[in-house]
Structures are given as C-alpha cells and as structure tokens.
Amino acid sequence: MKDDCIFCKIANHVIESDYVYEDDLVAAFRDMNPLAPTHVLVMPKEHYETIVDGVPAQTLAAMVHAVEEVAKSEGVAETGFRVTTNTGADAGQVVQHLHLHVLGGKRLTDDLA
C-alpha cells in the first residue's frame, strides 16, 4: 500500500466507500462523480500506477472477474456496458492507481477520443 494514495486507502478500508464487490485482490466501489447510472471503479488492492505497470496476471484476471461480478449485480451485463482505464497524461488520468471504469445503465456516447 502506498501511503499517500487515496485509492490504496479506499481499496484497503483505511477510508470507507460505497463498495459493490471485493475479494482478496480487488475492490470495486462507486465513482464519487458518476458519469452514468452505473459507474463503478474496479482496482487492485496492491498499488500499481497503470495497466502497464507490471501487474501480475493473477491480479489482471481478478480485475476482469470483478468486472463480470459488478456487471451482473448492477444489471448491465445484459443491457451493455463499457470498461475503460485512463492511462497517463494523454488519457487524462487523475488518480495514479490503476482502476477500470465500469459504465452502464444508459446508452453511452461514441466519443471515446
């Protein structure tokens, strides 16, 4: 855990949040500024800055599993949803702790770029 990282603190319950899924490797909680009816952040409990920061395969698999669990429990697995991860400056990454955005519950726009 990185001491000055807000997502480390939330993922490890140093600060509590609105969790929707959790296992040994991963936590998922609601984005505080939701862009869609479902907007959940899925992240590893260990600190990695981005998806290209040497994340172990087991952790990546756990994150994908968490996305499936969240999509099912949020009711968007059938209707459709989007998974994104902002990586670095050009993508506008704000929090430097790897996280996947799970967005759904409405017809999403096409403007990914």
Residue with tokens 């600060």: 15
- CB of 52 vs ligand AMP, minimal distance in Å: 15
Cα 102 from Cα 85, distance rounded (Å): 9
Taking the complex as a whole, how short is the minimal distance between the CB of residue 86 and ligand AMP, in angstroms? 4
According to the binding rule CB under 6 A, does residue 6 interact with ligand AMP?
Answer: yes
Applying CB under 6 A, the span of 20-28, 47-55, 57-65, 89-97 interacting with ligand AMP comes to 89-97
* One of 57, 89, 94, 112 touching ligand AMP (CB under 6 A): 94
Which positions are catalytic? 99
* 78 vs 89 by CB, closer to ligand AMP: 89
State the minimum distance, in angstroms, from the CB of residue 41 to ligand AMP: 6
Contacts with 19 (C-beta within 8 Å, 6 or more apart), sequence order: 27, 28, 29
| Residues of the shown chain interacting with ligand AMP in the complex, contacts defined by CB under 6 A | 6, 17, 31-33, 41, 86, 92-95
